[in-house]
Chains A and B, each alone.
Chain A
Amino acid sequence: MTEDTKSDESRRHFLKSMALGSAVMGASAVAPGLPLTKTSGAAKADGHAKQKMAFIQWQPHTVPNAWSKGIEEVLNAQEIFDYQLLDGQNKVEVQVSLMDTLINDGASVIFLQPIDSVALAPSIASAKRRGISVITLNIDATEEHAAHVEMNHYFGAKEIARVMGEKMGGTGEVAIMNAPPGIIIRDQRTNGFVEGMAEYHPGISIVADVNAEWSRQKAQDALNTVLASNPNVTGVYGVNDSMALGAVDVAKQKGILDQMTIFGNDGERDALESIEAGELTGTQYTDVYQQGRFAASAATVMATGGISARDFQSQGTLLMPYIIATAENVGGIQEAQRW
């Protein structure tokens, strides 16, 4: 062995130790109840066979893409994992089939953004029986599993209502650009906003709640219709940023942007840039890369520590920290945190 390769080896070990250390910290944050001391993670980390991990996303979108990048950052640093991003194609039966395939392939950890909380539960139970840990992102499942890492949908939306109401001076009419029914995060983001308005700003009334199907284009059409029947609307809440940006498009086109208060939810790059341009009023920002890193850190500990899904006594849950990004604080979000 040459000096160079020795140096590479020791560097690799050092990086591995660092990554494992951060993984332990991350996992502690995610699931304080995990039996981390039961086995040593370092021993298995020295093994040669690569372990498989995969993320089954709902469908390609900026949010799961950013999660996947965060996950990859952590897993690639270990050099002992094969990682694969899989597309659920917005079909629950495809997600179930992919779960079965990964279970058969002996994946050590599966990251999952379930399309439906109940429909994926049998697959999660099946993975658990095989000792495979499942970590869900944003949408929880009814079957208990290793860990759940979620944006703070309800309280974030409540906080949006508080800040938005302040920007509107505590009075006025608001329209919600909403997602199709039947999705838990849609309800959390809607209920948080509605209850937040009722609690903090009872003088503001919500006069319209329309389905714009998560889409910027659909939100443009929807807001045009809403404004025709409710010309006094001065506030718009988009359940995601795309729909809020659609509302911005309409307000600009009608020349009423300066009279409007428009908030989104998620905190994607386009929304932050729109805030900086003085168009969108604000959004709930979550560092989605970090969300992926937290999930991957927990996964790393489980896999290298030989922790079987059967060992878990209870599911760990982490609600991600967030800020309500507005013109006053958006500059504080660093380039590396933008997704």
Chain B
Amino acid sequence: MISKIAARVPNGGLIAFFVVMTLFFCFFARNFATATNVENILVGYSFIAIVALGQMFPIMARGIDLSIGSILALAGMVVFDAILIFELPGWIAIILAIAAATLAGTLNGLFIVILSLQPFVATLATLAGYRGLVYAISGRQLYPELATTPLRDPSLAWFNEYYDVGAWFGLDAFITTPWIPASFLVLLVVMVFLYVLLAKTPYGTALKATGGNKEAARLAGLRVRMIEVSAYAMSGFLAGIAAVLLVARLTTSTEALGIGMELTAIAAAVIGGTRLLGGQGNVLGPVLGAFFLGVVLIGLTLMGISQFVQQMLTGAILLAAVGYDAIRRGAGQ
């Protein structure tokens, strides 16, 4: 009965593993089971969850976006330049940044479908290209004195606010509840939007069909090239939103922002059950994957486990997730 229920729940295995690991750290990691730690996990991994959701789209279309970290840096630098150099209001800077990131993602898709490039190769090239562009437009290079000027715009600062949601529901009378960061609220809004997009619109079905079997999708009349481009555009769009959250938290942007983020995002998406062979994925998976990585890393840090062991364990978890996916597929065939 339980196994039948678990089989029907999306990401049931990951949820169970997540709960077990969380309970383990609650008992064995000092100060893990605290409201402050929950706040830290929520604020530290919400933007990574959004990047992972972005990465999910190209993977679902049987591609990959290696440039997602560079796009994040590009959007971050647009915010920096717009506010500090051009003195634009924060909300305009945010729109420009997300637009720039979406454009960068769209270009990735166009390179792939028009030039018939492998997604790995195309986005590896733009990983370098967009990073170079970040250096070229960097306000920190053009005006070195700005490198030590924090971003204080109120629109941007909102994304780093915290809300005492527990008090709204009267829970604070019984337990110390964590304050919920605005970045997590943004993540929830993004999740709802993406859920509707993927599960309730024809676009979601078309994306899965394209990733599952592109030729069959084309023969069925789907505009697969357009769908592929849109997947990379979504990846860029979500990287732009993540960049805004990150820049708000750091009160600045740097040229090196987001380096290595693509690997974390791919890991979170894959741990969350997104198939690297395309055609499969859901909104909950990458989010769980991102927070799972966060719980493990913070838990191990609080236990005083060596940094090198932490990296080995992270690799092992990724291997286990991919292995589990392969075994499950094998069993299903």
Residues of chain A having any CB pair with chain B under 8 Å: 82, 84-87, 89-93, 96-98, 100-101, 103-106, 115-119, 121-122, 142, 180-182, 184, 187
Contacts and interface: CB of A to CB of B under 8 A. Distances in A.
Contacts of B92: none
Contacts of A105: 30-31, 302
Contact of B250 (A84, A89, A93, A187): A93
B68 to A, nearest CB: 14
Nearest to B134: A182
Contacts of A91: 259-260
Given A118-B147, A118-B149, A187-B144, A98 B301 contact: yes
Given A101-B298, A121-B150, A182-B138, A116 B254 contact: yes
A88 to B, nearest CB: 9
Contacts of A86: 301, 307
Contacts of A118: 147-150, 250-252
B256 A96 contact: no
Residues of B contacting A: mostly: helix
Nearest to B36: A104
Contact of A121 (B251, B256, B297, B301): B251
Contacts of A184: 147
Nearest to B135: A181
A98 B31 CA distance: 14
Interface string B291-311: 000100110011010010001
B30 A142 contact: no
B22 interface: no
7 contacts: A82-B304, A97-B298, A98-B301, A104-B37, A118-B250, A119-B252, A187-B144
B304 A84 contact: yes
B250 A96 contact: yes
Interface in B143-169: 144, 147-150, 160
Contact of B255 (A87, A103, A121, A180): A180
A187 B144 CA distance: 10
A122 B248 CA distance: 10
Given A117-B148, A119-B251, A101 B301 contact: yes
A116 B73 CA distance: 14
